[in-house]
Amino acid sequence: MKKTLKDVGEFRLIDAIAELDVVSGIGDDCAVWTPPPGHDIVMTTDALVERVHFHHEWCVYEDIGWKSAAVNLSDLAAMGAEPVALLYGLALPARTLVNAVLAIYDGVALCLDSLNLDIRITGGNVAESPERMMISVTAVGIVPTGGAALRSGAKPGDDIWVTGTLGDSALGLFLLMNRFKKEDWPGWLALVDRHLTPTPRVEFGKAARDIVSAMIDVSDGLSGDIGHLCIESGVGAFIDESLLPVSEEAKNVAERILRPVEQWALTGGEDYELLMTAHPDRANDLRRAAESTGTRLTRIGSTTTGEMQIRRLDGAIEELECLSYRHFS
């Protein structure tokens, strides 16, 4: 079906969306949902804009849908929340194919399935956009009352931990932007996958919620996100560069392009790993949470009463610059 939104109009598009398995409850002005007793509701919203967050040149509509869900679920994971619902607001050019819109929803479903999440898109809106596509997602989750993991709870002397590996997503984007070919670059697929279809740490976030003193997801880049956490908690940090977890694929590509892999790990954004602090007494509990959810977990430093510092590979101690992605600059 090569029909565009201009051909079918708003209401036939909404009818087609309402048919999808991943969507439920379209028909009223609002979605109604009763939270279970003894829980707080946590909410987050994030918009993906064409040519800012995604480029049709190198990703398909399913990828866009996947990522739109994943980035929001990652924010819920950072609070230790259980996701309960998603709302989708789409702004779409009239020339967009109906099948492209449905593929975005397919991507959302694929992401939810990969996480074994039995939640639905319970509401949304479509509007016409003159030029570019925009996808705005609101995600809703729950945590036991008062139990959300915040950025502000770290104390000096806590360990700093991070899940997974860092820098993969930024290297994946680098490969795409430079049009480097899959055939020529071992590890291309793994890195590009991490950029286009990241996996939010929902299960680990829930398991770690009552153990950590503070938590944040790594979306802007490690050094920037450590900065956010430290500012909110009123602590400093001492990071050991040699401890930063990096993948073999990232190491190989970084070596070939002559930019240290640690630099990618420190400043590359969009890994959607979780960064957290915990009292040293809780180290084993945290390791168990990682093990039970099949998550790689690495201690990379400690919080301090001082400034943000990093011990470089050569032993030099420097100020940790909070370099990260910024909009509007």
Q: Does 75 engage in binding with Mg ion (CB under 5 A)? A: yes
Q: Applying CB under 5 A, which part among 55-63, 209-217, 273-281, 295-303 lies near Mg ion?
A: 209-217
Q: Please choose, out of 55-63, 211-219, 278-286, 312-320, the segment that lies near Mg ion by the rule CB under 5 A.
A: 211-219
Beta strand 134-144 with 273-278: parallel, antiparallel or unpaired?
unpaired
250 vs 256: CA distance, rounded Å: 10
Residue found by looking up tokens 């890994």 in the block:
271
CB burial of residue 23 (10 Å; 0-12, 13-18, 19+): buried
**Closest distance of CB 218 from Mg ion, Å:** 8
Name the minimum Å distance from CB 270 to Mg ion: 11
Whole-number minimum distance, CB 207 to Mg ion, in Å?
18
Q: Are 5 and 129 in contact (CB under 8 A)?
A: no
**Nearer residue to Mg ion within complex by CB, 168 or 249:** 168
Residue closer to Mg ion, measured from CB, 100 or 229: 229
Give helix 168-177 / helix 188-196 axis angle, nearest 10°: 100
Number of residues that bind Mg ion (CB under 5 A): 3
| Closer to Mg ion by Cβ: residue 48 or 261 | 48
Given 217, 241, 249, 273, the residue binding Mg ion (CB under 5 A) = 217
In angstroms, what is the minimal distance from the CB of 66 to Mg ion? 18
Q: Which is nearer to Mg ion, 225 or 262 (CB)?
A: 225
Locate tokens 């996958």: which residue?
Answer: 193
Alpha-carbon span 232 to 273, nearest angstrom: 19
Q: Which is nearer to Mg ion, 219 or 247 (CB)?
A: 219
Contact 85, 31 (CB under 8 A): yes
Do residues 197 and 63 make contact, with C-beta atoms less than 8 angstroms apart?
Answer: yes
The whole-angstrom distance between residue 159's C-alpha and the CA centroid of its chain comes to 22
Nearest approach in angstroms of CB 219 to Mg ion is 5
Task: Rule CB under 5 A: say whether 273 interacts with Mg ion.
Answer: no
User: How far is it, in rounded angstroms, from Cα 23 to Cα 102?
Assistant: 11
**130-159: contacts with Mg ion (CB under 5 A):** none
- Residue 225 in contact with Mg ion, rule: CB under 5 A: no
Compute the distance between CA of residue 318 and CA of residue 267 in angstroms, rounded to an integer.
15
Rounded to a whole number of angstroms, the minimum distance from the CB of residue 234 to Mg ion is 19
215 vs 237, which CB is nearer to Mg ion? 215
Instruction: Please identify, using beta-carbon distances, which residue of 228 and 299 lies nearer to Mg ion.
Output: 228
| C-alpha 34, offset from chain centre | 27
Q: Which is closer to Mg ion, CB of 158 or CB of 217? A: 217
DSSP string, 84-136: EEEEEEEEE-TTSBHHHHHHHHHHHHHHHHHTT---EEEEEEEEE-SS--EEE
Shortest Å, Cβ 76 to Mg ion: 9
Least distance (Å) from Mg ion to the CB of residue 41?
A: 17
Q: Which amino acid is at 23?
A: V
Site of interaction with Mg ion (CB under 5 A): 75, 217, 219
